[in-house]
């Protein structure tokens, strides 16, 4: 397949490198990392298997042209650029697969390319970009993928098998929306508290940062689960998310929370993506990960006091409150 990767950070580089190594014609759309990746390729460092791949590199979408598969791995804060990035990659048989976090990404792509060309995927993986073209794989790597607004098609299974052939554990979801909410159970708790934790436990519980207060250190997953107060708050957020999903008619089991807590214990001192964005001074992905889920929960009539408070604190932090 001819595959284009739009958004070549940790996520896009990891899956793109695997597909490249498997023999596909993989094109990376790059900006700041263009020179390094063109010269040296992509290096994946992993306890499971380290390897090197040499994808083709482009600065603008027109240099790539229409692709069979486009992996959209941008931060959702860059979705405003999709109308400029995607059309040149779109051909008669193109499929767009977004691997972005949160809600609403498939709809944004469907508005440009059409719903029938749009798929979504959720990545359960611990990755960090440590340097241009260098990705550290910490744990996991599975992808759950499905169609936007419809049940799986023949092409859904074909693309899933393409990922499996590249060494990626992949499962097709009958209901993509349900899969999104299952991942939100983890993302809301651990991405959210990783950053909001810098304001302190009581501030996050109350949903406010005191005037003049200064932020402390952000919290990795091991710190969140080694403290009884933070772990309890994480579990409360997870159960609110599950309640919202169930009110929306999605069959997300309550046992999802416990399974995800135990999986997170295996990650060690992992920095969730929102925490890394905050430390780098980048815009936080608040809309799809936190604010839209809260809006949908409220519309479904589910009270979410913990999520409401978390959104208040994250919004204040994103606006600069408490930064030194």
pLDDT means per 10 residues, the chain with 324 residues, are 97 98 98 96 94 98 98 96 98 97 96 97 92 94 95 97 97 96 96 97 94 92 97 98 98 96 92 92 95 97 97 95 65
d(CA 189, CA 20): 34
Q: Are strands 42-46 and 51-53 parallel, antiparallel or unpaired?
A: antiparallel
At residue 213, the pLDDT reads: 87
d(CA 185, CA 256): 8
At residue 321, the pLDDT reads: 72
At residue 140, the pLDDT reads: 87
Q: How far is CA 147 from CA 117, 157, 277, in A?
A: 9, 10, 29
SS3 253: coil
Is residue 314 within 8 A of residue 272, CB to CB? The reply is no
CATH 3.40.50.720 fits 2-174, yes or no: yes
- Hey, where are the domains in the chain? 2-174, 179-318
SS3 43: strand
Q: Is 2-174's fold the same as 179-318's?
A: no
- Only one residue has tokens 């402390």, namely 216
Give DSSP secondary structure letters for 275-324: HHHHHTTPPP-HIIIIIHHHHHHHHTT---HHHHHHHHHHHHHHTTTT--
Catalytic site residues?
Answer: 183
At residue 198, the pLDDT reads: 96
In words, the CATH class of domain 179-318 is: mainly alpha
Residues forming beta bridges with residue 4, ordered by sequence position = 27, 70
Give DSSP secondary structure letters for 54-122: --EEESSGGGT---SEEEE---GGGGGGHHHHSGGG--TT-EEEE--SSSSHHHHHHHHH-GGGEEEEE
């Amino acid at each position: 397949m001819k595959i284009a990767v739009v958004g070549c950070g940790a996520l896009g580089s990891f899956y793109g490198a695997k597909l490249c190594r498997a023999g596909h014609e993989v094109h990376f759309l790059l900006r700041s990392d263009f020179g390094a990746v063109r010269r040296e390729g992509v290096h994946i460092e992993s306890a499971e298997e380290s390897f090197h791949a040499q994808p083709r590199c482009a600065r603008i979408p027109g240099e790539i042209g229409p692709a069979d598969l486009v992996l959209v791995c941008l931060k959702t804060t860059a979705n405003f650029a999709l109308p400029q990035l995607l059309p040149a990659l779109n051909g008669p048989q193109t499929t767009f697969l977004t691997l972005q976090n949160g809600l609403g990404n498939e709809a944004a792509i469907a508005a440009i390319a059409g719903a029938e060309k749009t798929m979504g995927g959720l990545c359960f993986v611990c990755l960090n970009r440590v340097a241009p073209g260098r990705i550290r794989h910490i744990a996991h790597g599975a992808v759950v993928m499905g169609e936007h607004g419809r049940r799986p098609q023949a092409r859904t299974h074909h693309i899933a098998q393409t990922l499996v052939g590249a060494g990626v554990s992949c499962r097709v979801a009958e209901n993509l929306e349900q899969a999104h909410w299952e991942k939100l159970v983890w993302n809301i708790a651990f991405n959210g508290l990783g950053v909001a934790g810098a304001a302190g436990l009581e501030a996050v519980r109350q949903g406010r940062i005191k005037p003049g207060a200064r932020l402390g250190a952000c919290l990795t997953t091991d710190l969140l689960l080694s403290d009884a107060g933070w772990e309890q708050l994480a579990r409360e957020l997870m159960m609110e998310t599950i309640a919202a999903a169930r009110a929306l008619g999605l069959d997300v089991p309550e046992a999802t929370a416990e399974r995800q807590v135990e999986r997170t214990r295996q990650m060690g001192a992992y920095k969730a993506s929102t925490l890394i964005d905050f430390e780098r001074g980048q815009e936080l992905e608040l809309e799809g990960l936190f604010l839209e889920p809260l809006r949908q929960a409220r519309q479904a009539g589910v009270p979410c006091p913990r999520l409401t408070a978390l959104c208040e604190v994250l919004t204040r932090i994103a606006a600069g409150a408490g930064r030194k």
